[in-house]
Amino acid sequence: MCLAVPGKIIEIYEKQGLTMAKVDFSGVTREACIEHVPEAQIGDYAIIHVGFAISLLSEEEAQQSIDLLREILEAGEESEVENI
């Protein structure tokens, strides 16, 4: 299963004719294509799915999504410990 995850755009550049960005995912930086969101700017939050930005969202929406993802991970970890 693949998830779309919010990240903060920290750099925008061109690579092989495509608009690309360095995106910060809570301290982990990855490259993503932002061609589908041409209005994106440094400091914006984008939903990234398999290396492509599919939409922009507010910082508040991004933080809510990140918080929910953390809760899901923590619940999974607790479940694994309980099953040992």
So what's the pLDDT on residue 84?
A: 56
Distance CA 36, CA 39 (A): 9
pTM of the model: 0.84
Could you tell me the residue ranges of all domains in the chain?
A: 5-82
Q: Which CATH architecture has domain 5-82?
A: Roll (2.30)
pLDDT in tens, 25-66: 999 999 999 999 999 999 999 999 999 999 999 999 999 999
Helices marked H in 1-84 = 59-82
Q: Looking at the predicted structure, is the pLDDT value of residue 80 above 70?
A: no
